[in-house]
A and B are shown apart, each in its own frame.
Chain A
């Protein structure tokens, strides 16, 4: 157990170093893009003079040398302050906190759904390899993976909202309905269906293909033959022997994707007017809202690092042969 604690501690130290590198790199990357927020706002206003742009730059702190700006930023981040969005006139934490629930409810639901359905379908395809069921699953997965996600979203919306009128086409909740409690949950859930299905279809396709390929590989290994020779039932072989060994690459990919969940999905959020982080990030890029963008980058980096550590731990649990190397 000491080994585990040591590993965890050393990973955390490394993670902190990586995080600082990420912050510095992001900072320069973001500032390397041509134009600045003051210029964007001047462009949007349709009129400008020197004073307008100068005033904004002063207010945003953009008139300071870049290293001083970096120093100020890191100083704040270390204290847990993500800065202030001058464009939106609010602290970055508040902006992120406001968008985070919508993003998480969308991406987490889609992620869990995709993972469950993907692994189940992949397993089914591998077990029935060569039959019509396998072909059907493979084709559907391929289609879902290859079709542009926004197009699927628009088509679903066209069918279920415009033609059939069953589900709302976009949005997070019914505006002005003032639902509370369970009614509110149900309202959000109804709005959630189309974006979740669209997003989950895409992820699911990946997991299904991965699971199938990995299972087919493991299935031909010697220990599976041994299990068969021992006379174990087909179900037991598939779940205990094949799937458990084949699931490792799926965990790797899922771990990476889980880290990105807080980043949201720009396309889905745009098509369905879902008020999430992905859209916020995209708009922040266009508006050169440096502080918001850096804040999203930082939160996403932290999540990716955390989930990587979690994934490593999970490996050990799923497959005890994977040991901590000292």
Chain B
């Protein structure tokens, strides 16, 4: 909450200045950039002064129930939250998205930005007792994930070679510099899977998929489909005395009202992501036994927008899109539809993501400007005051998105843009958006810690691919934008990268390929007895190795 009240620009500028300083200093001091494993201790919050105690079971919610917990094969949100305790990536990230150790104890990046070398922790064992080694990392990143994981495929296909230098050292050599590569080792982006189980098998049908074997602090004990998933302490975890908890139980509770009741009655001690509808949040945060935080979603950094099909007239005209932007009150959306959760965006990059620049064209609500733009286009109101009619298909992801659709219909109606609402379900929505069979829809995408990983994909013309979701489905194309995103993805110098991303943000905020609505924040409710939870940029999806329950 404090983050929202204190305002964005100051903290962002601070963060940015610091990272530039650090990069410059590192460049001067050493040819090789080394980030020591002790970073985790430094990043641990000051409130961990109380002495942790062993024992206790944390109860949370898993919703919707995932089809599998094999994280390499399925990266649905709930799968990540549960399987993030079973599997591990090489790295995790602090709130500013700087890398922290997970399976990798330390790492170096060569000055030319082409070689990434990871030192792995010793004595790590898989849940079946077999030792973990560099070979598992090589297998996961060069074979398993390349076959089944779209995001990992995009990252690791940039490697010329992936080699195990010894049992505990892995070296990735890139074909060309790709500074965002360091953000690609988070647990859902690149979960490390056991080579001894998957090598040579059909990954998707391997019987072991039902009994996930990871290296994490918790093991799957029982999964009663439709009821609960029970994780228990991994007694052989490689960090001494960790984890503190005896186990974590995730309950499947399909009804949103029942989920609120579960938190209210203390049957669960944690809720995350969309477990609770935003309209429940004001009520729940007054409960005496829980605290609310919106931190811990910096890595996903979701950005919601109006997705506009540029193949449809008059939506191809940027004056029309600007008129829409002026007609919408985004502060109202944040305060009245999301009940204060989130931040009003300025441009394509979420303000918690690196290289965000607030100095862009912004659109305050202004009905006169909107009408003037429509007049300029020659769209005059007819007898009923209607200038144009558009079809809006709200994202079928719950009540809040439906309410947003209703608001948009009203807001656009005020400037003479008549909106026809179309309804659909998740499968129908995916099908229609991927195949460009829509006029306007609402959508949100995760930004994964770096514009090259989570932002460029929406705007570059090489990513206009029919039939594939989360691409440039609008059909927006600007050669300058393509060029800037391409250059920035290969630029080793952070200062130059910043310039390129700043320019692209300025162009996009003027072209307005989509109308950004909200930098989304999810509410995490934690029982006050739960300590040390949610400390990194992946928040509730992290391992929870040092989480403990006060008696």
Contact = CB atoms under 8 A, between A and B. Distances in A.
Interface string A85-117: 001111000010011001000000000000000
Interface string A44-63: 11111111110100010000
B470 A48 contact: yes
Interface residues of B, number: 57
A305 B412 CA distance: 52
Contacts of A36: 427, 431
B467 A44 contact: no
Contact of A49 (B150, B205, B254, B446): B150
Contacts of A51: 150, 153
A59 B262 CA distance: 38
Contact of A35 (B59, B265, B430): B430
A204 B527 CA distance: 41
A167 to B, nearest CB: 11
Contacts of B261: 154, 157-158, 161-162, 169-170
Given A47-B150, A162-B261, A34 B204 contact: no
B265 A169 contact: yes
Nearest to A165: B265
Interface stretch (B162-170, B226-234, B479-487): B226-234
A283 interface: yes
B74 interface: yes
Q: Which of A37, A154, A158, A175 has the most CB of B within 10 A?
A: A175
Contact of B251 (A34, A87, A271, A273): A273
A175 B222 CA distance: 10
A288 B75 contact: no
B432 A275 contact: no
B68 A89 contact: yes
B257 interface: yes
Given A45-B74, A48-B468, A33 B428 contact: yes
Interface string B38-72: 00000000000000000001010000110110000
A37 B257 CA distance: 28
Interface in B468-515: 468-471
Contacts of A212: none
Nearest to B249: A175
A40 interface: yes
B427 A99 contact: no
Contact of A279 (B74, B76, B254, B431): B254
B230 A46 contact: no
B251 A171 contact: yes
A42 interface: yes
Contacts, number: 165
A276 interface: yes
B225 A39 contact: no
B430 A175 contact: no
Given A44-B76, A50-B467, A59 B249 contact: no
A306 interface: no
Nearest to B253: A273
A269 B262 CA distance: 16
Given A44-B76, A273-B253, A39 B427 contact: yes
A88 B68 contact: yes
B213 to A, nearest CB: 16
Contacts of B75: 45-47
B254 A270 contact: yes
Interface in A259-292: 269-273, 275-276, 279-280, 283, 285-288
B257 A47 contact: no
Contact of B265 (A46, A52, A162, A288): A162
A8 interface: no
A190 B467 CA distance: 49
B255 interface: yes
Contact of A48 (B205, B228, B258, B469): B469
B367 interface: no
Given A40-B426, A170-B262, A275 B226 contact: yes
B491 to A, nearest CB: 23
Contact of B431 (A39, A48, A95): A39
Q: Give the one of B64, B76, B150, B228 with max A CB within 10 A.
A: B150
B258 A154 contact: yes
A162 B258 CA distance: 11
Contacts of B95: none
A231 interface: no
A40 B430 contact: yes
A95 B225 contact: yes
B139 to A, nearest CB: 19
B499 to A, nearest CB: 28
B210 A89 contact: yes
Contacts of B13: none
6 contacts: A88-B225, A89-B205, A102-B226, A170-B258, A269-B254, A283-B254
Closest 8 CB pairs of A and B: A275-B226, A35-B427, A35-B431, A34-B428, A43-B430, A44-B76, A39-B430, A49-B150
Given A35-B425, A48-B150, 8 more contacts: A46-B446, A51-B150, A98-B226, A99-B225, A170-B262, A271-B258, A279-B254, A283-B65
